């Protein structure tokens, strides 16, 4: 179809103007800076937000600051180098007892457990006395503390005295398991997923530990952490960020094609590991946080404080008011969509 030169020029000019208007609009959006571990799994969510411009959709510019470790994340938040980090509510609670009013929106649940070789003859924790057990995260690792409480309650067993405990970094722990130099291990979730993909099995899961300890509701673990005063002053920015975060999680929960796009970020060694990482990520998502989840958190605090002492909880004697931000509210749109099917993920992918 022939288009006169003058009309074509007008169309091109209008298109350029639209692009400039959009660029100027995005430039004027407020920034939200988020500190994330350089190689952490949270980068998967950040990549989804950036790819689909969910920050622009919810009226802010996402700035991601890669950080080397958990301590660096805490320092970045405390020095106001970033607005938000991903951390656990025990850290937040500890800070509140030091008169630092950080608060958290919970995003994931406690998961994982104690893994053994698929060919291991062990059927219960009783079978691991005199065994060598590896722990990632140090002596106050939450799952390790829960395992100790579980062993005491169910078997009247002091597992620390009955087994040889080896503390190691997550990658080293997996290597030791693969070389059969450990009989069992508690590792971070994405390393445990790799063990599972390679034939290792859960001897006792965190939900089993919690159930034995009288806790049957989902227990939040990690979440978005920020300063309470910042949240009050920047409620619109915070709301936009949480909406973008929830939509990104919804995409990762429901869209298998999106996982293929971000697969390089997962650093999955093979298809089995990739599938295990995807499934475990989806299982760990927290879909609501209300009265029951708060009650479970208080129960877990009591257990962990008893097991970990001041090294874990600091001056805290209870779960402080305000540790969880707007605890009575969950995200209705996210909860409603995922509630239809949280295991088979058959709900329509929102980006198709």
Tell me the C-alpha distance between 301 and 311, whole Å: 13
The DSSP output letter for 166 is E
Cβ contact 212:122 at 8 Å: no
Phi-psi domain of 53 (left: phi exceeds 0; alpha: psi -120 through 50; beta: other):
left
pLDDT at 106: 96
Half-sphere exposure of 180 (CA within 13 A, CB side): 3
Tell me the C-alpha distance between 78 and 82, whole Å: 8
pLDDT at 6: 56
Note if the pTM is more than 0.75.
yes
The values of phi and psi at residue 149, to 5°, are -65, -40
Count CB atoms within 10 A of the CB of residue 247: 22
The DSSP output letter for 137 is S
Tell me the C-alpha distance between 91 and 233, whole Å: 23
Q: What is the CA radius of gyration of the chain?
A: 23
pLDDT at 344: 41
The 10s digit of each residue's pLDDT in 92-129 is 999 999 999 999 999 999 999 999 999 999 999 999 98
For residue 351, give the 3-state DSSP assignment: coil
Can you list the residues of the chain whose pLDDT is less than 70? 1-26, 327-347, 352
- DSSP conformation letters of 67-94: ESSHHHHHHHHHTTS-SEEEEEHHHHHH
pLDDT at 156: 96
Cβ contact 116:184 at 8 Å: yes
The 10s digit of each residue's pLDDT in 126-141 is 999 899 999 998 999 9
The 10s digit of each residue's pLDDT in 156-205 is 999 999 999 999 999 999 999 999 999 999 999 999 999 999 999 999 99
């Amino acid at each position: 179809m022939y288009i006169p030169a003058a009309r074509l020029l007008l169309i091109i000019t209008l298109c350029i103007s639209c692009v400039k208007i959009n660029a100027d609009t995005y430039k004027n959006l407020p920034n939200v800076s988020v500190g994330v571990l350089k190689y952490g799994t949270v980068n998967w969510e950040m990549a989804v937000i950036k790819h689909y411009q969910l920050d622009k959709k919810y009226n802010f510019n996402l700035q991601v600051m890669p950080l080397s470790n958990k301590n660096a994340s805490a320092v970045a938040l405390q020095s106001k180098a970033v607005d938000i980090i991903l951390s656990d509510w025990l850290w937040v609670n500890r800070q509140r007892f030091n008169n630092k009013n950080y608060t958290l929106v919970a995003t994931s649940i406690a998961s994982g457990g104690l893994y053994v070789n698929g060919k291991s003859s062990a059927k219960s924790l009783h079978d691991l006395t005199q065994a060598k057990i590896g722990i990632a995260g140090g002596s106050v690792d939450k799952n390790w503390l829960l395992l100790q409480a579980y062993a005491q309650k169910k078997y009247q067993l002091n597992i620390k005295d009955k087994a040889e405990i080896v503390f190691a970094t997550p990658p080293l722990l997996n290597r030791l398991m693969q070389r059969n130099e450990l009989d069992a291990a508690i590792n971070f979730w994405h390393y445990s997923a790799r063990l599972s993909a390679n034939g290792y099995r859960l001897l006792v899961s965190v939900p089993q530990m919690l159930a034995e300890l009288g806790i049957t509701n989902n227990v939040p673990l990690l979440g978005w952490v920020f300063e309470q005063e910042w949240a009050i002053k920047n409620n619109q920015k915070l709301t936009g960020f949480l909406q973008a975060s929830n939509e990104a999680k919804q995409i990762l929960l429901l869209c298998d094609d999106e996982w293929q796009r971000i697969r390089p970020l997962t650093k999955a060694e093979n298809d089995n590991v990739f599938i295990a990482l995807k499934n475990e990520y989806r299982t760990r998502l927290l879909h609501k946080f209300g009265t029951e989840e708060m009650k479970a958190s208080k129960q877990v605090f009591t257990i962990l404080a008893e097991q970990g002492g001041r090294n874990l909880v600091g001056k805290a004697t209870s779960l402080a008011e305000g540790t969880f931000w707007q605890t009575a509210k969950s995200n209705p749109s996210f909860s409603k969509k995922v509630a239809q099917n949280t295991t088979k993920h058959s709900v329509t992918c929102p980006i198709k």
